[in-house]
Amino acid sequence: MAEKNDLMEKVVSLCKRRGFVFPGSEIYGGLANTWDYGPYGAELKKNVKNAWWKHFVDDRDDMVGLDAAILMNPKTWEASGHVNSFSDPLIDCKKCKTRHRGDKLLEEKIGVEKTAGIELKEIHNALEKEQVPCPDCGKIDWAEAKTFNLMFKTHQGVVEESTTEVYLRPETAQGIFVNFKNILDSCRVKVPFGIAQIGKAFRNEITPGNFIFRTREFEQMEIEYFCKPDTKKEVFEEWKDLSKQFFTEVLGIKTDNLRFREHDEKELSHYSSMTFDVEYRFPFGKRDAVETWGELQGLADRGDFDLSQHEKFSGKDLKYQDPHTNERYLPHVIEPSFGCDRTLLTVLIDAFDEEKLEDDSVRTVMRFKPSIAPIQVAVFPLLKNKEELVGKAREIYKDIKKSFRSEWDDSGNVGKRYRRQDEIGTPYCITVDFDTLEDESVTVRDRDSMEQERVKIGELKEYLMAKM
Ligand code: ATP
């Protein structure tokens, strides 16, 4: 297993080498902290999103989906509180003039519990007291902290006036709240029920970094679950269990590296009375960090804050009427909010393994759960210049591809092909050899154990299906 500090470097390098994640606009020298998902990354991301949608929407009867616009009426963001309070503490280094996020620097030094809820005016003194140096020049000479609003502004239409100013949404959640009434009126939903959405969000982060962990453009997978106010404690607990299930059972993340952390009172957002973060122990290896737990998902009790704010700002009645009792009320909301890119980073780190083999060489293998692996089955002819082998292998490949995400590979020797498939995390490789032509069987090689088994072509699909 790679040492903590270089694990991150190894994952980033494998991602580039094997087509998972590339630096954004690289041929032009890049654009800071932007990343593009390559063929295997795009596939993995799609599988994570599909698994999420299946777990939280398709497999349930109390959930519906939504795909709202990124650009919304700016009043939305006044109502939600983002215009006034969606900001982070910005702190300047007086020596080298670089800008940093004060609370995060402190968090790396003394931990998130001791930093949580720190007031803006206390940050400067705390950084000096804890002797936190500037990450760029190493000096300790901080200016006072200022608030910095994280919303990206742009203009809609051809005239650049303040009336045309719009924001790129900083979260997908508000698209759900503004459509609450539409969904009540058009679908057969009854409280308790939830609305799910996957989509891009944008935040002008002061210090993006740690690969795809913190970027300015990212994807969220969010749910707003509407319930009767007196049931929300149980609903919250239910969503806690469902979230844990998603990470451990659906994605196969190791539980040792996951934790639920409750926000203390000072840390709570303006809209929340209870929040838990699902955190993963990332191998960021920051300078003298005391811990590297990073948030994957927030789970918040938002009460009726959003619906009542939207009622106030839009002048529309957003109340729900109970069909049995005729009681009219604003439901309360439990919000599980997942970061898609952070989940993907977690999947990549958690799957990465280096295994020492008997001949002392090291095999790099991505141990993805087969159900989410970008490629599930690779098919090889033993030799690429033997027509009978290639023809037979092509036949098998064509058929296998109908049921599994599959890849054809006929270049180099089989050993090298196995190594490449190990690095992209393909759980099964099928080799068609000369015996196949005689006995209608192929060799199936298991990524994790490296064991090889002969399987009849007629039984291949069933054999693989049972393993996925
Ligand atoms: P952080 O404290 O790390 O800035 P947050 O508490 O502001 O995160 P939320 O507003 O709760 O995050 O957003 C929900 C989820 O969206 C987070 O759990 C995270 O997975 C994801 N997310 C938030 N900001 C970013 C970002 N800049 N880059 C990638 N993912 C993000």
Please tell me whether residues 299 and 392 are part of one structural domain: no
Atom of ligand 1 nearest to the CA of 296: 20
Count: domains in the chain: 3
Q: Is residue 363 part of a domain?
A: no
Please tell me whether residues 211 and 135 are part of one structural domain: no
Q: What is the CATH number of the domain that holds 140?
A: 3.30.40.230
Domain extent, residue 397, equals 375-467
What are the tens digits of pLDDT across the range 70-127?
Answer: 999 999 999 999 999 898 999 999 999 999 999 989 988 888 778 888 889 999 999 9
Q: Is residue 237 part of a domain?
A: yes
Please tell me whether residues 297 and 388 are part of one structural domain: no
Q: What pLDDT is recorded for position 264?
A: 80
Ligand 1 atom 12: residue of nearest CA: 298
CA-closest candidate to residue 383, choices 416, 406, 407, 412 = 412
Q: What pLDDT is recorded for position 287?
A: 46
Q: What is the CATH number of the domain that holds 434?
A: 3.40.50.800
For the chain, how far is it from start to end, CA to CA, in angstroms?
Answer: 25
Atom of ligand 1 nearest to the CA of 269: 6
Of the CA atoms within 13 Å of residue 21, those in its CB half-sphere come to 19
Question: What amino acid is encoded at 230 in this protein?
Answer: D
Q: Is residue 354 part of a domain?
A: no
Distance 200 CA to ligand 1 centre (A): 12
C-alpha to C-alpha distances, 227 to 232, 245, 333, nearest whole angstrom: 6, 21, 6
Q: Is residue 366 part of a domain?
A: no
Mutate which of 206, 218, 343, 347 for ligand 1 pocket (most atoms within 8 A of beta carbon): 218
Please tell me whether residues 140 and 27 are part of one structural domain: no
Q: Is residue 355 part of a domain?
A: no
Please tell me whether residues 444 and 342 are part of one structural domain: no
Please tell me whether residues 220 and 341 are part of one structural domain: yes
Query: Would you tell me the crossing angle of helices 387-400 and 460-467 to the nearest 10 degrees?
Result: 50
Please tell me whether residues 339 and 265 are part of one structural domain: yes
What are the tens digits of pLDDT across the range 280-298?
Answer: 999 886 544 555 889 999 9
Q: Is residue 278 part of a domain?
A: yes
C-alpha to C-alpha distances, 111 to 114, 222, 278, 294, nearest whole angstrom: 6, 27, 16, 11
- The set of protein residues with a Cβ atom below 6 angstroms from ligand 1 is 203, 205, 214-215, 218, 220, 295-298, 337, 339, 341-342
pLDDT band for position 170 (50/70/90)? very high
Which tokens belong to 267? 């840390």
Please tell me whether residues 380 and 454 are part of one structural domain: yes
pTM of the predicted structure, to 2 decimals: 0.92
Please tell me whether residues 72 and 131 are part of one structural domain: no
Please tell me whether residues 343 and 410 are part of one structural domain: no
C-alpha to C-alpha distances, 425 to 176, 340, 352, 359, 462, nearest whole angstrom: 36, 19, 9, 22, 21
pLDDT band for position 2 (50/70/90)? very low
Please tell me whether residues 187 and 242 are part of one structural domain: yes
- The last residue of one of the domains, among 98, 128, 149, is 149
Q: Is residue 362 part of a domain?
A: no
Q: Is residue 13 part of a domain?
A: yes
pLDDT band for position 263 (50/70/90)? confident
Distance 339 CA to ligand 1 centre (A): 6
Please tell me whether residues 53 and 123 are part of one structural domain: no
Sequence-ordered alpha helix ranges (H) in 80-157: 82-85, 102-110, 112-115, 120-129
User: What's the mean pLDDT in 364-388?
Assistant: 96
CB-based contacts of 147, cutoff 8 Å, min separation 6: 87, 88, 89, 90, 120
Which tokens belong to 254? 């190791």
